Structure 1
Amino acid sequence: MERLWTKSFILLTIGLFFLFTAFYMLFPTLPLFIVEIGGNESHAGLAMGAFMLTAVLFRPFIGGLIDQYGRRVFLIAGVLLFALSMFSYQFVGGIVALILLRVLHGLSWGMSTTAFLTSLTDIIPVKRRGEGLGWSGMAMTLAMGVGPMIGISIAQNSSYQVMFLVGCALGILALLLTLVINIPFTAQKGTLRIVFFEKSLTSVMLTTFLFFISYGGITTFIPLYSASIGFNSGTFFLIYAATLIISRPLSGRLADKYGYAIVVIPAICTTILSLIVLGLFTNPLGIILSAVLYGIGFGSTQPALQAAAIRLVAPNRTGVANASFTTAADFGIGLGAIILGLLAPYTDYSTMFIISAMSVGAALCVFIFLVRKSLAIQTQSSMTSS
């Protein structure tokens, strides 16, 4: 069996952890920071959406450029811009300035994460891709747990400005690691052609988009909802992350051995159940149970969908595949945050979580009727060509 735990894989995973920790520090704190500087719930949704939608707009170009010119330059530039964006938050004093900074931050996020994920894809053995993405996803998993807790602790015990500086420092640590990593790359020959997305990925992108709408609602409104009932939102993210730690490596191995459908279908169903629980049981116990179920469902679905996207493209198009997958994910998060933010003044949190569950249900239908067919055709084509 080909080796998975190489020096480059380990360092990339650690760098990913630092980057995502800084990113997730803002999730439970930025909505509260927005209120402090004079904003409201709609502004919180707009700020989250502006970040994600900017990443969506730039990812397709970044993915094509990464495939043509290599990963390193975009990895370094993206992480450096991310660190500078985190540093700049401490100077924001109004909503307009914040939204503009979120746009810049979103650009850095689209560039850095696409380069990170594509670099990881390059160094993970093909036959261990589901397992490798599951383990590297542990970096994001741990970040989801410790990031919000760090952010809340610093904001409560010190200030938002100190929290932004800590986020900048984590970005710099990630940058230092990228400078010593050996990333294999063979440049494409011929004329540069930037592809917005692979046609073969349409069904996976639609599934991912619908699935991640719920994540936009969770990350934007769990902090505000928790505050309304006197619950620490950091606890939700910590429980969610702890559950992910257990589910992700196992689901990755199952996907490699038995196929993606055996993992994705029950995982999406679990995600739907978690959102229904969150919508119906408006108390701390409901939040805790929902965090466990959402960790299992989301933690199993995300790496399996990403691995499926990579499987559906040629080996020299992994940059575009990762860009397409993360574009769909970010678009779902951003649009979900904006739409639910606009609905917030006219409804309650329970209704918003039930709407999120309906979106995940639509993702399940698309996967069952479209994605499985695409994967079956690709598998049959591979067997025929070999």
Structure 2
Amino acid sequence: MERLWTKTFIQMMAGMLILFTGFYLLLPTFPLFIKELGGSDAHVGLAAGVFTLTAVVFRPFVGGLLDRYGRRPFMLWGMVFFAVSMYLYDWVGSIAVMLALRVLHGASWAFSTTAVSTSVTDIIPTTRRGEGMGWFGMAMTLAMAIGPMLGVWVLQNSSFHGLFLLATALSVAALILVFATKTPFTPKAGAKKMGIFEKALWPVTVSLFFLAVAYGGITTFVPLFAASIQINSGTFFLVYALALTLARPFAGKLSDRLGEANVIVPSLVLTVASLLVLSFANGLFGVIVAALLYGLGFGSAQPALQAANLRLAPPEKRGVATASFMTAFDLGIGAGSIALGWVSQYTGYGVLFTVCAVSVAISALLFLAFAKRKLAQRVERTEAG
């Protein structure tokens, strides 16, 4: 069996753990920061939407640049501006300035995370892709467990000033670690014009988009929903992260052994169930059950979808494949955050999470209708060749 746990793989995982921990410090606290600036629920959704939609604009071009010129320069410069953005939040004094800064932050997020994720696909053996992506996703999982609770603790014991300084320090630490890591990639000589999209990927990316709409609702509005029923939102994200920790490696191995479709469909059904539970939750027990189910469902579906996306992509277009996957995810989060902000303002959180459940159901139906067959055809061609 090909080796997965190399020094480079471990260092990249560690770098992402630190970077995402800094990012997730803001998950439960940034909506409160917006409220302190005088913003509304709609502004909370708009801030999340501006960030992710900016990333959407940049990611397709980043993917083509990675395949043409290599991963490292875009990875490092993206992380530099990511750290700068974190520091500048400490100087924000109005909603308008905050939204402008979200544009810079979203662009830096597009460059850094697309480049790092593509570098990791270069490292992971093809036969262990599902498992490798599952373990790599653990960096984000642990960050989601540590970051929100740490962010709430810092805010309770310090201030937004201390929060943004800590986020900046973590971003710089991640930059230093990734800078010290050697990542293998040699651009092909005489490459054709830069590509930004691969049509073979659309069945998976469209399905992912609707899954991400619900994810945008969870990350943006669970903190406000939890506060409305007097529950610490860190509890939801801790249980969710622990469930993800259990699901990702196991689901990754299953997708390598049984095929991605046999993991994705049941996982999406479980995700729908979790969101319906959350829509009716009115206390701690319901929130914990929803978090557990969502962690197991989403935690299994997301890495399997990423492995399916890479299976459908030509080997020389891994940058484009990674960018397309992350673009669909960001677009879903951004569009979902903005639309669901209005749903929340004019209806309520129960309706909001029901809409999220419908979005994931659409994701499952689209995958069954279009992506499952294409994946089976690709496996047949690979085995025949």
Q: Same fold (TM over 0.5)?
A: yes
Deviation, structure 1 residue 147: 0.6
* Aligned counterpart, 1:378: 378
- Equivalent positions of 1:297-376 (< 5 A) are 297-376=297-376
- Equivalent positions of 1:30-49 (< 5 A) are 30-49=30-49
The whole-number CA distance in structure 1 between the counterparts of 2:46 and 2:126 is 39
Counterpart of 1:234, as a letter, is G
The whole-number CA distance in structure 2 between the counterparts of 1:195 and 1:6 is 30
* Aligned counterpart, 2:256: 256
The whole-number CA distance in structure 1 between the counterparts of 2:294 and 2:194 is 36
Deviation, structure 1 residue 343: 1.9
* Aligned counterpart, 1:230: 230
Structure 1 residues 372 and 36, CA gap change in structure 2 (3 angstroms): same
Whether 1:27 and 2:27 are equivalent positions in the alignment is yes
Deviation, structure 1 residue 197: 1.6
The whole-number CA distance in structure 2 between the counterparts of 1:33 and 1:179 is 32
Whether 1:203 and 2:203 are equivalent positions in the alignment is yes
Whether 1:72 and 2:72 are equivalent positions in the alignment is yes
* Aligned counterpart, 2:120: 120
> Which stretches of structure 1, 4 residues or longer, exceed 4 Å deviation after superposition?
none
- Equivalent positions of 1:210-225 (< 5 A) are 210-225=210-225
The whole-number CA distance in structure 2 between the counterparts of 1:247 and 1:181 is 28
Q: How many aligned positions are there?
A: 385
Whether 1:189 and 2:189 are equivalent positions in the alignment is yes
Cα distance per residue 1:89-129 (max 9 Å; x no partner):
00001000000111110001111110110011001111011
* Aligned counterpart, 1:273: 273
* Aligned counterpart, 1:243: 243
The whole-number CA distance in structure 2 between the counterparts of 1:33 and 1:303 is 32
- Equivalent positions of 1:148-167 (< 5 A) are 148-167=148-167
TM-score by length of 2: 0.99
Deviation, structure 1 residue 192: 5.2
Aligned residues with identical type, % of pairs: 51
Please state whether the residue corresponding to 1:3 is helix, strand or coil.
Answer: coil
Deviation, structure 1 residue 79: 0.8
RMSD (Å), alpha carbons: 0.9
Counterpart of 2:263, as a letter, is V
Counterpart of 2:140, as a letter, is M
The whole-number CA distance in structure 2 between the counterparts of 1:343 and 1:236 is 21
Whether 1:107 and 2:107 are equivalent positions in the alignment is yes
TM-score by length of 1: 0.98
Cα distance per residue 1:303-330 (max 9 Å; x no partner):
0000111111111111110000000001
Does the 8 A contact of 2:68 with 2:191 survive in 1? no
Cα distance per residue 1:343-371 (max 9 Å; x no partner):
22210100000000000000000111111
* Aligned counterpart, 1:93: 93
* Aligned counterpart, 2:52: 52
Deviation, structure 1 residue 189: 2.6
* Aligned counterpart, 1:143: 143
The whole-number CA distance in structure 2 between the counterparts of 1:211 and 1:189 is 38
Deviation, structure 1 residue 383: 2.5
